[in-house]
Structure 1
């Protein structure tokens, strides 16, 4: 899709970070995949210096690991680590929802914007020419939906942490093709969540959000699902 290749108005290192993250969104980078600096620099037609800087940034964000002998690799997480990331993300995102509803930050314009993002998941699918395009579309819009709420809460640090956690979990989900079936239901799930948000009832919103995340846990860690819980 055209969006995969939009890197203008960025520093070269930021461009490389976007390149790697877009490959994660498209499902083409999975746990343990090696990131070869020379290959990336040649593909993007830049020197290796910004690629090395990008690898450092991605390492700080928890998406890439480096070993002197093995080089840079996409992170690998065991089931316990993935469950921990799910729990941290759920707890932090619940806090943002608390703040949004408690301070009544959600306006009609916001609900319309969230509805449009959810509808775009379904309406734009026909424009996808490949499965890679389709996965990129859904994951990008899913991130856009949740990021809109994170930033609406005004919690800049939480929003930054949540975005990094999102990519970490997406890497784990990309590892299991069966979990991609959940993409079929994303539009309906998000529309239902917008409807719940419009009622401004915190317990109901938290419960709906918990069920939304639990679906990902079930798809990614089916044997560990019983250990996932949210302290409401």
Structure 2
């Protein structure tokens, strides 16, 4: 069974965007890696125009950048920039959680769907033939879990920004994929968030989510973790 899907999208540029994002999700693209338009166009047997459009879309999302010397390359962030991205993500996602809880938007079906996603982080590992597939699985389910809440809140603009931030952080964590955690522990972390969400206790939910983000900061930037500001 193939864990990483084929690239079937409604446009050629969408196909290239998905290809690049899937390589990030699988851990094969890291900060600073070059993206050569001619190689991508040859791979998919397409012209360079949709590849350039894909690069533009990814640039707008902050996932890649362009320089005359290096061309298109996966974004590189300093330690301070990484901390700032974590802080922005924490702030925006906390706003979403507050909106969901204050409006009591979660129902039993939502809790079940979120639980299914969390459990698949652990249960799906047995279907992965390679480490690349395992990394892809856990990252795809991680963003699916959080995106479920982003979309549920109806916060379209926040969701768009958060997706870009997710990938920006992921290319950094791809430098050492052990920072992503192991399937069992990621399952437990997300199940804990679900249990707290069921209480509809806003302070407890925010505290649980902040700890979740703090864990990522600790694994990604252990030396700079003390500078992380959740209330910024």
- The TM-score with structure 1 as length reference comes to 0.96
1:134-145 to structure 2, matched below 5 A, reads 134-145=134-145
Counterpart CA distance in 1 for 2:10 and 2:68 is: 29
1:70-149 to structure 2, matched below 5 A, reads 70-149=70-149
1:186 aligns to what? 186
Shift of 1:189: 0.5
Counterpart CA distance in 2 for 1:182 and 1:92 is: 26
Shift of 1:177: 3.6
1:23 aligns to what? 23
Counterpart CA distance in 1 for 2:205 and 2:142 is: 17
1:226 aligns to what? 226
Shift of 1:80: 0.2
The alignment's C-alpha RMSD in Å is 1.4
Counterpart CA distance in 2 for 1:183 and 1:109 is: 23
Q: Which runs of 5+ in 1 are unaligned?
A: none
- The TM-score with structure 2 as length reference comes to 0.96
The reply on whether 1:50 has 2:50 as its aligned counterpart is yes
Contact 2:65 2:72 in 1 (8 A): yes
Equivalent residue of 1:15, what SS?
Answer: helix
Counterpart CA distance in 2 for 1:184 and 1:47 is: 43
Equivalent residue of 1:2, what SS?
Answer: coil
Shift of 1:143: 0.2
Counterpart CA distance in 1 for 2:62 and 2:40 is: 19
Shift of 1:42: 1.4
Give structure 1 regions of 4+ aligned residues with deviation exceeding 4 angstroms. Answer: none
